[in-house]
A and B are shown apart, each in its own frame.
Chain A
Amino acid sequence: MIEIKNVTKYFRVGFFGTRKNAVEDLSLDIDGGKVTGFFGPNGAGKSTTIKMIVGLIKASKGSIKINGYDSFDYRARLKLGYLPENPSFPRGLKGIEIINYYAKLLNKKINKNEIYDALKLAGIFYAKNTQAHKYSKGMTQRLALAVSIIGDPEILIFDEPLSGLDPIGRKEFKDIIFKLKERKKTIFFSSHVLADSKELCDRIAVLVNGRLIKNENLENIEKEAAAYAEEKKEERLSGEYNTPLEVYLYDLMLKNRKN
């Protein structure tokens, strides 16, 4: 489905344009029909990786292919839906106008009912006639979600989909992911919330400091976590992280972090 091969991305920072690696030598295959969770601390390079996949930024080295097309080719995005982190929309246009426009940019005919269904699924139908810049953060997030699922794409890439949602919204969003999962969509989402991992994912990838340090099935990683908990014997299952998997992922990130 999505093949990421030896991808490095550096940004030029400062006056002299010195290179700063955001992602280093990342190789990752995202399988079709599975939910892959992409975890890592702030600044790990998750959003950078996602932006490379959806063709917003170009990898400095290596290649990214989606269904055989290079990620900068528009055909790579024929069946792709993307939910950016902190989405935003132009001022002055109503929710319905915005989604109509994005629906038209797809290479197929989308009828009105499909648009309404997407809006209803994302729970923003009631505000479709309000100008989008008057939306709250969570409402904007919902509209962006509606935009990303319109046209029934095969691949869904969500960058921190749960941030900014209220408890009801989080539950609804997870239900949407379950629904999409049942329909064998390929889902790749990034998150900070370790508790999301077990519920949603088939596979877990962990990125720290731009390096992929884990890419495993849920079962395998749970086994590792259990073994780790056994070894540590330390009573840590309290407070913020209260399952072996969460503690394991947390320690993994902490250990590999440089600063």
Chain B
Amino acid sequence: MKNILYGIMYSFKEIKNSKIFYSFLIFALILISGSYFVSQTSFISQGRIMVDFSIFAISIFNIFIGIFIGASVVYDDIEKKSIFLSITRPVKRTEYLTGRFLGLAAAIIFSTVIMMFIFYFVLLIMHKFIVPVVPNAGAAVSGAKSVHNVHSNNVNLQNNSASYAASGHPFTFYTLPQPLIIQGLFIIIESVFISAAALLFSLVTSKALASIFAILIFFIGNVSSRMNDLVKPVKKIIDGKVVIVHQANHILASIVRFIYTVLPNFSIFNISSEAAYKVNVSSGMILYRAAYGICYTTLLFIIASIIFSKKDIS
């Protein structure tokens, strides 16, 4: 346990200092700040364009970090032989791998949080898209607030603060809308997920192939649900009977269905339309999708650690 913790810290430090990591980070930050200029090309719904653009930048760069660092975090360690000294210490190989992987996960969380913060500040400066924190308005905030109210015995406070916020009182605290925060969380889950796939591939092939496979998996995982919809038989009700009016080739359909079921479905982590229209996502959906991502990631990681524990390292 202690070893894993040190491994995480060490990997995190190493990744944080790596060129690839901060070049991606800096590039994403430039894009996020640049989203302002992109939004200026439109007269309407500039906030929505900024959100779309920035969320795209944040997710794509974190996925890049996940894929490229995931494919190299252990591979390079083996290639450069720096792994020789760590796994010949009294540590289990699984501990080492866990440390590396969670270190990368920490780096992804770190970069996503930084990017989201910068994004938040850009929105704050633009005064677009942010929502004032109004006591009693959000379910999560109200719990804490109402306790406060009970203690202070000041019933008027609630109404006052709501009107304060609406009138743009200097002390109003603004936050991102709920779907945007959830989108941030999903980006983390998605990037860690794809990094586990890249890590697994990098244990059996080269770094370049592992990255390519991971990108392919990511791409297919994003379109597979739409593909699956396309090959579903088209049914119509004619004279009270269900009639299949169009049926895709059976073999094709089953291949697509197979891909759809077996390969991870990444499209569920994209809630940019909800984010762009500030539609709150239900906690059931958040929970289900997060659990899907975490379980799949764990599965990939377990396979990786079984392969790794038998691997010849030389």
Query: B3–A51 contact, CB under 8 A?
Result: no
Against A, the Cβ 8 Å flags (1 = close, 0 = not) of B84-125 are 111111111000000000000000000000000000000000
Given contacts A92-B18, A97-B13, contact A87 B89 (CB under 8 A): no
Closest A residue to B79 using CB positions: A88
Query: B17–A74 contact, CB under 8 A?
Result: no
Compute how far the CA of A97 lies from the CA of B312 in the bound complex, rounded to whole angstroms.
27
B151 at the A interface (CB under 8 A)? no
Compute how far the CA of A86 lies from the CA of B293 in the bound complex, rounded to whole angstroms.
40
Compute how far the CA of A167 lies from the CA of B91 in the bound complex, rounded to whole angstroms.
35
Closest A residue to B313 using CB positions: A56
Query: A106–B85 contact, CB under 8 A?
Result: no
Task: Give chain A nearest CB distance to B73 CB in angstroms.
Answer: 10
Given contacts A88-B80, A90-B80, A91-B17, contact A107 B87 (CB under 8 A): no
* CB under 8 Å from chain B, chain A span 2-42: 11
* CB under 8 Å from chain B, chain A span 72-113: 74-75, 77-78, 80, 82, 84, 86-93, 97, 101-102, 104-107
* CB under 8 Å from chain B, chain A span 41-81: 47-48, 51, 54-58, 74-75, 77-78, 80
Query: A106–B313 contact, CB under 8 A?
Result: no
Compute how far the CA of A6 lies from the CA of B81 in the bound complex, rounded to whole angstroms.
27
B219 at the A interface (CB under 8 A)? no
Query: B92–A56 contact, CB under 8 A?
Result: no
B14 at the A interface (CB under 8 A)? yes
Given contacts A58-B312, A91-B17, contact A102 B89 (CB under 8 A): yes
Given contacts A87-B81, A89-B82, A90-B82, contact A107 B14 (CB under 8 A): no
Query: B77–A90 contact, CB under 8 A?
Result: yes
Query: B85–A84 contact, CB under 8 A?
Result: yes
B91: which of A48, A74, A87, A148 is its contact (CB, 8 Å)?
Answer: A74
Task: Give chain A nearest CB distance to B20 CB in angstroms.
Answer: 11
Closest B residue to A58 using CB positions: B312
Task: Give chain B nearest CB distance to A97 CB in angstroms.
Answer: 7
Query: B90–A106 contact, CB under 8 A?
Result: yes
Query: B87–A55 contact, CB under 8 A?
Result: yes
**Chain A: interface residue count, which band?**
20 to 34
Query: A92–B17 contact, CB under 8 A?
Result: yes
Query: A106–B81 contact, CB under 8 A?
Result: no
B27 at the A interface (CB under 8 A)? no
Q: Which residues of B contact A107 (CB under 8 A)?
A: 90
A212 at the B interface (CB under 8 A)? no
A56: which of B17, B80, B84 is its contact (CB, 8 Å)?
Answer: B84
Q: Which residues of A contact B90 (CB under 8 A)?
A: 74-75, 77-78, 80, 105-107
A144 at the B interface (CB under 8 A)? yes
Task: Give chain A nearest CB distance to B17 CB in angstroms.
Answer: 3
Compute how far the CA of A97 lies from the CA of B313 in the bound complex, rounded to whole angstroms.
24
Q: Which residues of B contact A78 (CB under 8 A)?
A: 90
A147 at the B interface (CB under 8 A)? yes
Compute how far the CA of A97 lies from the CA of B12 in the bound complex, rounded to whole angstroms.
13
Query: A105–B84 contact, CB under 8 A?
Result: no
Task: Give chain A nearest CB distance to B307 CB in angstroms.
Answer: 13
Query: B313–A57 contact, CB under 8 A?
Result: yes
Task: Give chain A nearest CB distance to B265 CB in angstroms.
Answer: 35
Query: A87–B313 contact, CB under 8 A?
Result: no
Task: Give chain B nearest CB distance to A230 CB in angstroms.
Answer: 42
Q: Which residues of A contact B86 (CB under 8 A)?
A: 102, 105
Closest B residue to A99 using CB positions: B85
Centre residue among A48, A54, A55, A74 by max chain B CB count within 10 A: A74
Query: B80–A55 contact, CB under 8 A?
Result: no
Task: Give chain A nearest CB distance to B25 CB in angstroms.
Answer: 15
**What residues of chain B have their CB less than 8 Å away from a CB belonging to chain A?**
2-3, 6-7, 10, 13-14, 17-18, 77, 80-82, 84-92, 310, 312-314
**What residues of chain A have their CB less than 8 Å away from a CB belonging to chain B?**
11, 47-48, 51, 54-58, 74-75, 77-78, 80, 82, 84, 86-93, 97, 101-102, 104-107, 144, 147-148
List 13 A-B residue pairs with CB atoms under 8 Å apart, sorted by A's residue number. Answer: A11-B312, A51-B313, A51-B314, A56-B84, A58-B312, A80-B90, A88-B80, A90-B80, A92-B14, A102-B86, A105-B90, A144-B85, A147-B85
